[in-house]
Chains A and B, each alone.
Chain A
Amino acid sequence: MITRFGQSLVDLSRGTRDLWQVYVSTLAGIIRRGRRPRGELARQMFAIGNRSLVFIIVTLGFIGMVMTYEACLQLSTVTGDFSQLGMQFIRLVVSDFGPTLTALMLATRVGAGIAAEIGSMKVTEQVDALRMSGVLPIDYLIVPRFLASIIMTLVLSVIGGTVMYLAGGLTAKYSFGVNPNLFFDLELLRLRHVGLFVVKALAYGAAIPIVAGFCGLRARGSSEGVGWATTAAVIGGSFAVIILDFVLSAAALFVFGGDL
């Protein structure tokens, strides 16, 4: 029992250290402008951004509809006053749900994709071939994905948040007859909410490819190893998003003195 507990503790700390090393060497790779294939950044932005667009629109649209529906349902049984609904909804979408749910969806879609790709290259020894020809795998593979993911998570969060807000407004109108002028009211939105939106989207966008790339580079064995790496990337990515969300929300609460 104690051995098992100690073993998992050692594994955990070793994993954290390796993850940190991947992160630092990615940053170093950006600064020192390591070698990467021409046009790779654009290709990754297409693979991460454009390819996820429909997925993000569908999932966030439906979750926006559900959330407004539930809120309306509860309000109609308790007070019947819908005047605060839209204002509170946009505040929550901008400061939390927009970037976080987009990033959770991207952690499954993009994180699994990156881990599967890098993991297959690792087990077919393409990563070792890169290293042999004097190219750092992190510069070549992770840096372009890191940059593309940061940009595209921000863009997709804006799109996802907008879709969520519009879908919520339409649900409120057609299911509960809430006046759209009342719903689409930006009175409670402050600059700090937008700032929080940007900070969260950037943090998630940085975390997802690092975790996924780390899991991909750790893949061992053959097809089983790739499957295991992809699973670990999905779990690690989603968990990182939830932890970052918690930390950033709590930090914002302290910075703005409870007036979030």
Chain B
Amino acid sequence: MRRRNELALLPKSPLLITESADEFDAVRDAFEREIKPRGIIERMYVHDICSIVWEILRLRRCKAVIINSAFLRALEDLLVQLRPPGQQDFHAGDGARKLAHAWFTDKEAQKRVLETLGRFNLEESAIEAEAIRRSSSDLESVDRMLTSLESRRDKALACVTEYRASLAHQLRESADRLIDGKDVLRLERASSKRSTAA
């Protein structure tokens, strides 16, 4: 009950329309099982860690899609570059465009592309390399954001540890104060009081 109240107080993590709230809850539950947060501050940090991890997953997905969507243009460019000698840019561009489109679905086109690459001792990895090169500026931005998020996730985890250690220290000190305090009835004094009363 307490957990539900505290979660209701914390601002809801915003998700994209296409993202699943159930999957987000599953990530949060996994972290809660692992960290076992107690109190609103610890829950706040766990909530933060989940939001960060969720964003990391989102950016990683995005990174893969950025590379994949650059494949078509990358292949077109490669095929133009590897055109047979004597063929003009205009004709090579048209043929390359058609072959690159077909490469995604047609086995025959895939074979032709492999043959073309093979003539220059290249493999299919050359297409991926060109796709990465074409999207390097976007990938660099995504990487910077990922690095920043990962460092914040680690910091949030360290903050939970720091907070717990500080809380434990305080609890120890409070317990010591209670034990040493004058207002606490000591056992021997209590027993002497009892004997006096008798």
Real binding pair? no
